[in-house]
Amino acid sequence: MSDDKTYKVKQDSHHQTHLSNEDYLELYRQSIENPSTFWGEQALQTLDWYKPFTVTGSGDFNKGTASWFTDGSLNASYNCIDRHLPTKADQTAIIWEGDDPSESSLITYAELHDSVCRLANLLKNRGVKKGDRVCIYMPMIPEAAYAMLACARIGAIHSVVFGGFSPQALQDRILDSDCQTVITANEGLRGAKPIPLKANTDMALEGCPN
């Protein structure tokens, strides 16, 4: 059993908020009273679209058939990276902290864009195309994010498999998702313990016909 605690916001933090309480309550009201208009406006304000949508949402939440912006078209990788380049190219996009606390790096939007584009082109050169499934079996390093964004960039579907899983668990997930490509690393490090990712992948692929 615990007591409720209230933590006061520092006075100088009030000036850094994106929304006042009044603005928040107004947005909340709009989202409840007219969700289609509200989410349509949010999507247009915060995302770049190749083809704008005309229908915001459809379906039945109770039946789990809800769908959003079905006639619109965008690219998740572009929205995560490219649209920020004109004003934020030299700003930090990713702060990475390694398994060893002494290892860290700051990756700018420009650097992220370069790495993701190179990996996306590599995947295309290897025959990966829109709709293909790609398994990502990586340690917690920036390249794991590059791989996800590269897949999104070319329209491939990525399936992330936890880097601590065994060869059998990896094999099961490759087969279940019908992945044709696996992105991995030679080794990973978790709690100072080396994880033989490439060796695990080789064993897993022995039972994958494709």
Polymer length of the chain: 210
Task: Evaluate if residue 118 carries a pLDDT over 60.
Answer: yes
For residue 10, is it within any domain?
no
- 21 belongs to a structural domain: no
In which band, very low, low, confident or very high, does the pLDDT at 2 lie, cut at 50, 70 and 90? Answer: low
Within-domain flag for 108? yes
For the record, the structure tokens of 13 come out as: 């933090």
Query: What's the domain range around 154?
Result: 77-205
Look at residue 173 and give its three-state secondary structure: helix
Query: Tens digit of pLDDT for each residue in 143-169?
Result: 999 999 999 999 999 999 999 999 999
Q: What is the pLDDT of residue 1?
A: 52
The verdict on residue 68 lying in a domain is no
Name residues whose C-beta falls within 8 Å of residue 140's C-beta, 6 or more positions apart in sequence.
Answer: 99, 163, 188, 190
Domain contains 4: no
CATH code of 100's domain: 3.40.50.980
Residue of higher predicted confidence among 35 and 90: 90
Q: How many domains does the chain have?
A: 1
Mean pLDDT within 179-202: 93
| pLDDT tens digit sequence for 72-81 | 999 999 999 9
Could you tell me the pTM of the whole model?
Answer: 0.85
Answer yes or no: is 171 within a domain: yes
Rounded-to-integer distance, Cα 104 and Cα 206, Å: 35
Q: Is residue 52 part of a domain?
A: no
User: Does residue 36 belong to any structural domain of this protein?
Assistant: no
Q: 111-138 burial by CB neighbour count: b if 16+ within 10 A, else e?
A: bbbebbbebbeebeeeebeeebbbbbbb
